[in-house]
Amino acid sequence: MDPLRETLTRVANELGFVLVGFARLRPLSEHEDFYRRWLADGGNASMTYLAREPERRLDPRQLDARYRSVVSLGYPYAARATPEVDWRAEMRGRIAAYALGRDYHDVVKKRARAVGNVIRQLRPGSTTRTYVDTGPVFEREWASASRIGWFGKNTMILNREHGSYFFLAEIFTDVEFDATTEPYREHCGSCRRCLDLCPTGALADGYVMRSDLCISYQTIENRGAIPRELRPKIGNWIFGCDICNDVCPWNDDHASDDSADDLLPRLPELLALDDEQFGIRFTVSAVKRAKRRGLLRNVAVALGNTRNPDAIAPLARAIETESEPLIRSHAAWALGEIGGATARRALERALRDRDTAVRREAAAALETN
């Protein structure tokens, strides 16, 4: 092995990266038609940033003409084995495994930059730029080109030893590296678990992800109302979703145990968070991306999906005291899902809400209650 590659691999491993790969930069012309067709079909939903700077996404040398290679890194995180609790009876939500603990952007990018520093130290005058889920970069395409895994049917990069539970980082550099191994063979075979078990049907054949149907998109990126037809299918997911990872056979041996309080936070407690409390609880967490209004909107939906009468009181209180119409409107929907005389009285009061969307949700809920 080239001494520089060997050193980079060793340092990356010492920093916690379990996957290290190299590839020569080139235009990703084989992905261009798929990418443009996906955008034209609305696959990116409201994420307009995914359509920006297509030339730079397809060829990182548009970022800097000096770049010649990419170092792709995989940093593992733990899958979570769901505790044996009745989330409806206990009114607990669920957060995607990657968002538990400190925000991965901060952790992984700091370590990836340390790998990039080694390149500049050993090759004085060289240049590097590091990305971790940021910027106009096709990270999965470069991970595949760097031979650290294959494209799974769940649209994730999969690796035989590490499944899909790892973050990706890319280091673009003017140092020349070639991929020295054969392409990572595809191992999904005839398995369709991720496609068939996605509750919203967000995944389709041909490695297609419909963002507007994805639970992760709806609970994180969507800044407005969650479509009514999707709300019951979201279950108790309040930030992200792990279903297409959890059902993958390559992830069967990667689950770790957590307490119910760590993995399944109590929904009524979350619905009561004010701005200051939200900031304190999630300041170093990836959950902050949803913002308070988005997270509590999701919490209201999950409470409705519990169908638990004990959820009526916190939902009714939210309608009475919450300043955000988005949260109040979803709380009204949730009360309609639970039903009963107490929920109905709260919904009748919501008909006098100052916000049109809240009144509309309350009226629709009363029609079915």
Task: Cite the active site residues.
Answer: 133
How many C-alpha atoms does 172 have within 13 Å on its Cβ side? Answer: 23
Cα first-last separation, the chain: 69
Q: For residue 244, give both structure tokens.
A: 């297409």
Report which of 76, 68, 249 is spatially closest to residue 173, judged by C-alpha positions.
68
Tell me the two tokens of residue 332: 């009204």
Query: What whole-number distance in Å separates Cα of residue 157 and Cα of residue 272?
Result: 38
